[in-house]
Structure 1
Amino acid sequence: MAYFGFKDFSSLSSVDMTIYRYVTRHREQVIYMRVRDIAQNAHVSNSSVMRFIHKIGFSSFMAFKAYLKTSNNVKDTPSKTFSFITKGNFPDDIEEQMSVVADFLYESDNIITLGMGCSGYIAGYVSRKFASIGLNTTVITDPTYPLEPKLKNTSNNVIMCFSVSGETNELVEELNGFVSDPDTKIVAITGNSISTIARMSDYSLSYKEPEKRINKFYDLSSQIPAIYIAEGLVSLMQKEDKTEQDVLNKN
């Protein structure tokens, strides 16, 4: 069998063949090795390993290792590496829910996007997207920000809160002052559909994604489902705006 797509074995020296046999027999180990590790284990020189790699068509040692890692014989294949999101990450009726929320957001006068940590960055990203399609929006990533005074003399407001766990105490406290406010509605985008923030909200768009943390405070949870929902909302509102403009132009 020809590995690496290489077939011209007649061009390989005896040293090359020694390296070839070692690499093909230890593929899964080689992807974690350095040049000198391969050389030592194959009983050849470092320069011999590099000459072999170039001879079989790779521009660098890293390109060679990348090929090994993504080949079909290694468990960590591209199909698994890039399987970030599927329909299974969302409730069955997520599209209907998003349509309702998009209509509601489009008719609002002020949109506050709220989040902390990684969710704060997503809140900022979404706020910018909303502003790009002409919505009046502000991002808040500081849980001590005086949000109630800011919205005191306003109406038809929306607070869109991003939280993977839906249980962040600071966000819960910030939202608590608006739960019974007739001029402000709360939209939650969270990975926990039964969380405190989801239950406090007027609308909750949830997704299924395991919460991942290291050292308690370092959040490695994927934000891709939240971005997916936000991008969907932007797309829906953009279509609604275009439809409205078309109607106005006809009149």
Structure 2
Amino acid sequence: MFSLQEIRSLNELELAVYNYVISNIEKVNHMSIRELSEVTHVSTTTILRFCKKMNTDGFTEFKFKLKMYKESQEQSFPTEDASHMIDFFKKINNDEFDSLLNQAAELIVNKNKVIFLGIGSSGALGKYGARFLSNVGKFAQHLDDPFYPVPDGYYDSSVTIVLSVFGETEETLKQVSRFKSMSSAIISITNYETCTLAKLSDLNIAYYMQFMKVKNEYNITSQVPVVYILEMIGRKVQRLLEQRKTK
């Protein structure tokens, strides 16, 4: 029901509605438009605009399609987590998303240095991404310490791949700004393309997974999409490198 193109068309207020809806489908099906307006802290006009961007004529039709979507998910998949994962793969099954991956691969192949940057779990994924790229023939390094000193000139002809769920971590943003000032191209992989990190990047790839937190502190949003994106970029890099060898 929610295509990647539709989600990317949402502004920040409409995205707040989307986040609530995707996390509370059952509740929304029994809400009035005014009740949804109150819990999402947006106007009813914003909700109607959101419904229109979801290709429905109004809130009533949107709820009907939402109900049909929920029922189809329950019939197809045994668990809620699986349904969200399958929904991700459906959303990215299009030429637009493939084009983003191609652009990332081209940028990586055309640079002499590839650096992965991330903190916490994103740092661990950065290490995996660096190893995967190295395995396919493009040497890459990872940094999980945003304060790690790097000599002048190191980032010449480089691309930095930055991983972050929120794209708002202060230390990461400072390091990205520093890398940009040293002429490093920035590719970011984030959950939303409206975050600050995405706006600082030369290329952003957003995956729009349901945000999840435990104990109001620990982020457990699925990172399976990030692994998939890294591996798909790596395979495209491998093909480009092989094509260059045959020329």
Shorter-chain TM-score range = 0.5 to 0.7
Ranked by relative contact order (alpha carbons within 8 Å, sequence separation 6 or more), the top structure is: 2
State the structure with more CA Rg.
Answer: 1
* Structure 2: runs of 5+ lacking an equivalent: 1-73
1:136 aligns to 2:164 (yes or no): no
Do the aligned partners of 1:190 and 1:204 also contact (CA within 8 Å) in 2?
yes
Deviation at 1:171, TM superposition (A): 0.6
**Distance in 2 of aligned mates of 1:90 and 1:179:** 31
Distance (whole Å) between structure 2 residues aligned to residue 91 and residue 151 of structure 1: 41
Q: How does 1:224-243 map to 2 (within 5 A)?
A: 224-243=224-243
Runs (4 or more) in structure 1 with deviation over 3 Å come to 74-83, 89-92
TM-score, normalised on structure 2?
0.63
Shift of 1:121: 1.0
1:101: which partner in 2? Answer: 104
Supply the RMSD in Å over aligned alpha carbons.
2.4
Q: Partner of 1:246 in structure 2?
A: 246
1:79 Cα shift? 6.3
TM-score (norm 1): 0.62
* 1:151, distance to aligned residue in structure 2 (A): 5.2
Partner SS state of residue 156, structure 2: coil
Partner of 2:156: 155
Q: One-letter code of the match for 2:217?
A: F
Identity of aligned residues (%): 25
Partner of 2:182: 181
| 1:221 aligned residue | 221
Q: Return closer, same or farther for 1:102/1:109 CA change in 2, 3 Å cut-off.
A: same
Provide closer, same or farther for how the CA distance between residues 246 and 75 of structure 1 changes in structure 2, counting only shifts above 3 A: closer
- Which stretches in structure 1 are left out of the alignment for 5+ residues? 1-73
| 3-state DSSP of counterpart to 1:108 | coil
Q: Deviations over 1:123-155 (max 9, x none)?
A: 010000011122231111112212xx3353441
Matches within 5 A, 1:49-198: 78=78, 80=80, 82-83=82-83, 84=85, 85-88=88-91, 93-146=96-149, 149-150=150-151, 152-182=153-183, 184-198=184-198
Query: Are the counterparts in 1 of residues 156 and 182 from structure 2 also a CA contact under 8 Å?
Result: no
Higher helix share: 2
CA distance, structure 1, for counterparts of residue 82 and residue 232 of structure 2: 20
SS of 1:178's partner is helix
**Secondary structure of residue in 1 paired with 2:176:** helix
Question: Number of residues paired by the alignment?
Answer: 171
Q: What SS is found at the alignment partner of 1:158?
A: strand
Q: Do the aligned partners of residues 161 and 240 (structure 1) sit closer, same or farther apart at CA in structure 2, a change above 3 Å counting?
A: same
Residues 89/100 of structure 1: CA separation in 2 closer, same or farther (3 Å cut): closer
Distance in 2 between residues matched to 1:107 and 1:204, nearest whole Å: 18
